[in-house]
């Protein structure tokens, strides 16, 4: 789950800064990370060929609290849920965009038959 902390670290530190805390302890940072992550959403998109170009097809949106298997093994989660492809995972805390991370697991594109979600 270290890769998720790396994505959230700057966002968490800005939240502390807004509260007037310039150097939080490791325990404070971890507690804030858990709190913010619990209230975050995760959107999974895949790069899809489209009319001679590419676009991103939205496959799923999760509450972060419900998707720990993604955090513990992103390649395994994506492969078993959606197959292979070029995936973009976006993290939001409320209306705030936190970060994005790209993954490219190998395998057959099981996602091709899935409908695109509107978000």
What tens-digit pLDDT sequence spans the chain (119 residues)? Answer: 899 999 999 999 999 999 999 999 999 999 999 999 999 999 999 998 878 888 899 999 999 999 999 999 999 999 999 999 999 999 999 999 999 999 999 999 989 888 888 76
Cα–Cα distance for residue pair 84/87, rounded to 1 Å: 9
For 27, residues 6+ apart whose C-beta sits below 8 A from its C-beta are: none
Residue 51: the pLDDT is 83
Torsion-angle region of residue 83: left (phi > 0), alpha (psi -120 to 50) or beta? left
User: Which residue ranges make up each domain of the chain?
Assistant: 2-106
In this predicted structure, what is the pLDDT of residue 112? 87
The pLDDT score that the predictor gives to residue 119 is 62
Q: Which residue has the tokens 């991103």?
A: 56
């Amino acid at each position: 789950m270290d890769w998720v902390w790396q994505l959230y670290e700057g966002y968490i530190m800005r939240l502390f800064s807004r509260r007037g805390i310039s150097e939080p302890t490791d325990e404070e940072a971890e507690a804030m990370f858990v709190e913010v992550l619990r209230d975050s959403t995760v959107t999974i998109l895949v790069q899809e060929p489209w009319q001679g170009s590419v676009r991103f097809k939205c496959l799923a949106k999760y509450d972060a609290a419900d998707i720990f298997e993604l955090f513990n093994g992103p390649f395994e989660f994506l492969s078993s849920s959606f197959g292979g492809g070029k995936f973009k995972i976006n993290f939001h805390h409320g209306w705030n965009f936190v970060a994005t991370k790209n993954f490219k697991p190998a395998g057959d594109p099981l996602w091709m038959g899935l409908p695109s979600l509107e978000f």
